[in-house]
Chain A
Amino acid sequence: MTALDEPTPLTTTGTRTPSVHEDAGDKPRRTSWVLTIVVLLLTCYFLFPLYWLVVASTKSNADLFSSFGLWFADFSLVDNVRTVLTFQDGVYIRWFLNSILYAVVSGVGAAFLATAAGYAFAKYDFPGGKALFSIVLGAIMVPTTALAIPTYLLFARAELTDTYWAIILPSLVSPFGVFLMRVYAADAVDTTLIEAARVDGVGELRIFFTVALRLLMPGAVTVLLFALVSTWNNYFLPLLMLNSAQLFPLPVGLAQWQATAAGGSGAQALFSTVITGSLLSIIPLVVAFLFLQRYWQSGLATGGVKA
């Protein structure tokens, strides 16, 4: 793997443009229109459901079924949003806040734990370190949903189900994050820097908090983003763990509304509410992804190039 010793592309992928490749050649590559059209058609396929979601969110429940699905009818977006926010005493807002709480606490916690552990695995040779790291590496392969039922059974025993902890505690553990941070720390923190701090008499833990942590930040933000996304999107674990609607995150709540709507027991008006609620729920992450491109790309690069 020739790419191993060259960390530069990993951290700059987001800002590099095709011109880097073109500079290296003698003549600029000609544009292939066939390729451009094929890939842009594919892009349309990936944007199509989102387009549909935006259009459908502007329709009243009646128009949803009587008008053409891919074009606008009477504009009822404001009414729909009002219904989403007030239906069942505004439980949707509660779900939104729950989702934020679960995702932020799990994301920050998982990133911090993975950064500390990854740094230690990369920069210290300690008894049992290699064995522990291989166990953590092996755990990446443990399927999360196969683990969810055992975790539920254990939490039921400890009477921890149907609490915030039931979602947060399992989400704090990211073996893949530890792997990523170990790879990242090996390159990002120069060992001579640690040595120099030691010579100056700085304690080991202070070296981590004052010198290394700053250098590890880009990697840590990547782990944070991934933990954030996986917790925000998680459905299976909260479905198992939670009974009270007051504790639901958005996906579980919306799925419940959808089931009620599809059940059709006089709750027909729910369809436009489910659709508008879905649109509102994906906005934060889509926006975050557009603005934080640099981080998730470098993170995926580290995982993909170095694995």
Chain B
Amino acid sequence: MTTTVPTRAVAPHGASSAPRARRGLSASRRRQIGAAYALVLPFLVLFVAMVVVPLVYAGYLSFYKKKLIGGTSFVGAENYLRALTDPSFLSGVGRMGLFLCVQVPLMLVLSLFTALALDSGMMKLAKVARLGIFVPYAVPSVIATLMWGYIYGPDFGPIAQMARGLGLGVPPFFSGTGIFFSIINIVNWEFVGYNMIIMYAALRSIPTELYEAARVDGASETRIALSIKIPLIRPAILLTVIFSVIGTFQLFNEPNLMRTLAPTVIGSDWTPNLYAYNIAFVNQDANYAAALAFLLGIVIMIISYAVQLGAQRKERRA
């Protein structure tokens, strides 16, 4: 792999032709600008068509309402006001907030612990562990949910079989609170390894000199991990937190598939996304679904922005 070692951090454009470019735009500078647009354009066209236009269209739809008589009419913020007082939407957002507070810390602590363990050089079979923990990332969430669904099974699942064999009660994987933790377990299983690899890669890029001195002074590995390594990989940790926040509020696949196993426990409004999906496809109310999707996007952006801001403030104080 051919990467040239220290290059300038700023993007330098035709720096050597600068003297000529002072009087108007030189031919070479014009060619460069043309080339830049030509390279960006294909992406940009699709970006506008697949991101900007759908958002604008959804924004437009969200201000209209289909009436039984008289067709579609402009209703202003009515759909949004309805969403903000809709117990189904609000309870879904609340449930995901709770999910976020339980699942994300659990997952990231496990990721950080395993990443530090692999990086410590104090482990046998580190490579096997690294691959084994990461491999679930290659498994589609649909398949992950199917597998765990069978494993949780109260009649024939292996856990229930073992529990019965030991004379213990079968764990209530599909009960009201049980399902919450069952899904947390599935999401953790899918993403601990992914986040571990991000953190591990960041750890590997720390120059060893930075903690060699501490080691010579007799600092323990735990101490080095807590006081030197973790602060140095803060940007990577922040990235995993933000991706996790975005992922959590969009939760759909796992609960949607678990519904077939626990239909009475997971309602059609268990997550905001599930609810928006049902509004759009079961109730056929595109206008209200658009408003819900928009609001959900706004909630996610506010929270991930708040996380970033909080992290920056902490960094400044430190």
Q: Hey, which bits of chain A sit against chain B, CB under 8 A?
A: 1-13, 16-18, 20-22, 24-26, 29-32, 35-36, 38-40, 42-47, 49-50, 52-53, 56, 64-65, 68-70, 113-114, 116-117, 119-127, 129, 132, 136, 139, 141-147, 149-154, 157, 169-170, 172-173, 175, 178, 186-188, 190-191, 195, 198, 203-205, 208, 215, 218, 229, 232-233, 235-236, 240, 250-252, 254-255, 258-259, 262-263, 274-275, 278, 281-282, 285-286, 288-290, 293, 296-298, 300-301, 303-307
Contacts and interface: CB of A to CB of B under 8 A. Distances in A.
A69 B3 contact: no
Contacts of A251: 140-143
Contacts of A240: 277, 281
A40 B51 contact: no
B110 A42 contact: yes
A158 B44 CA distance: 20
B46 to A, nearest CB: 5
Given A139-B51, A146-B293, A42 B133 contact: yes
8 contacts: A6-B207, A43-B129, A43-B133, A70-B158, A146-B250, A233-B142, A278-B143, A301-B204
B9 A169 contact: no
Contacts of B239: 303-304, 307
B5 to A, nearest CB: 6
Contacts of B43: 113-114, 116-117, 173, 178
Contacts of B2: 188, 215
Contacts of B12: 191
B33 interface: yes
Interface in B135-172: 135-144, 146-148, 150-151, 155-158, 161
A293 B201 CA distance: 12
Given A233-B140, A304-B235, A18 B135 contact: no
A111 B240 CA distance: 22
B312 interface: no
Given A35-B120, A153-B61, A286-B139, A304 B54 contact: no
B151 A144 contact: no
A186 B9 contact: yes
A259 B8 contact: no
Given A31-B124, A143-B297, A146-B293, A152 B205 contact: no
Contacts of B204: 9, 13, 16, 301
Given A126-B37, A172-B46, A305-B235, A46 B132 contact: yes
A223 B147 CA distance: 28
Nearest to A195: B16
Nearest to A296: B197
Contact of B161 (A13, A68, A204): A68
Contact of A24 (B28, B32, B126, B208): B208
Contacts of B138: 229, 282, 285-286, 288-289
Contacts of A205: 35, 38-39
Contacts of A198: 14, 17, 28
A11 B204 CA distance: 11
Contacts of B36: 120, 124, 126, 129
B157 A69 contact: yes
B58 interface: yes
B283 to A, nearest CB: 13
Interface of B: 1-9, 11-17, 28, 31-40, 42-44, 46-47, 49-51, 53-55, 57-58, 61, 110, 114, 117-129, 131-144, 146-148, 150-151, 155-158, 161, 189, 192-194, 197-199, 201-202, 204-210, 212, 215-216, 221, 232-233, 235-236, 238-240, 242, 246, 249-250, 252-253, 257, 260-261, 273, 276-277, 280-281, 286, 289-290, 293-294, 296-297, 300-301, 304-305
A229 to B, nearest CB: 7
Contacts of B141: 233, 235, 251
Given A145-B273, A173-B43, A208-B35, A258 B125 contact: no
A116 B42 contact: yes
A49 B189 contact: yes
A36 B13 contact: no
A35 B129 CA distance: 12
B114 A153 contact: no
Nearest to A136: B47
The CB with the most chain A CB atoms within 10 A, among B194, B249, B297, is that of: B297
A12 B34 CA distance: 35
Contact of B54 (A124, A150, A229): A150
Contact of B33 (A49, A124, A278, A293): A124
Contacts of B280: 149, 152-153
Nearest to A112: B42
Most buried by A among B5, B150, B158: B150
A173 B199 contact: no
Contacts of B110: 42
A124 B110 CA distance: 42
Contacts of A9: 201, 204-205
A116 B297 contact: no
Contacts of B194: 300
Contact of B1 (A68, A121, A208, A218): A218
B117 A35 contact: yes
A153 B260 CA distance: 26
A187 B3 contact: yes
A24 B212 contact: yes
B11 A186 contact: yes
A200 to B, nearest CB: 13
Nearest to A11: B1
